[in-house]
Amino acid sequence: MTTAYWCVFVAMLLPIVWAGAAKAGAKAFDNARPRDYLARLDGWRQRANWAQANSYESFPAFAAGVIIAHLAGAAQPTIDMLALGYVLARILYGIFYIADRPTLRSLVWVASLGCIVGLFVSAS
């Protein structure tokens, strides 16, 4: 597997990391009704849940970009660099979201989007 494909795998797991952060150590967590619990969160746990949701939203475009770039025969080092950039940006995104740093969060969100756009452009 290429580095970029491994990045797809890591990106697939990131929402689970943020969901785990939202639920970690929670005394009122009810695994029978996890969505009810998540809907009642506030503070950093709520932001972790929002990071989870946004990670799920961003993932399909990233995975498609990597696959399309591969299929189109884009340069592998370019695909790998953009995929690594995306994963790094998404990790920072979750950290900044949980830490309540909205400006930094938005900047790395734009960076991750730029990596996705770059994957599609590299495929042309």
Q: 27-59, pLDDT tens digit by residue?
A: 777 778 888 888 888 899 999 999 999 999 999
Interatomic CA distance for residues 63 and 61, integer angstroms: 6
- Show the domains of the chain with their CATH numbers: 3-122 (1.20.120.550)
**pTM for the predicted model, two decimal places:** 0.93
Interatomic CA distance for residues 11 and 63, integer angstroms: 9
Whether residue 18 contacts residue 49, with contact meaning beta carbons closer than 8 Å, is answered with yes
**What phi and psi values does residue 28 have, to the nearest 5 degrees?**
-95, 5
Q: 70-122, pLDDT tens digit by residue?
A: 999 999 999 999 999 999 999 999 999 999 999 999 999 999 999 999 999 99
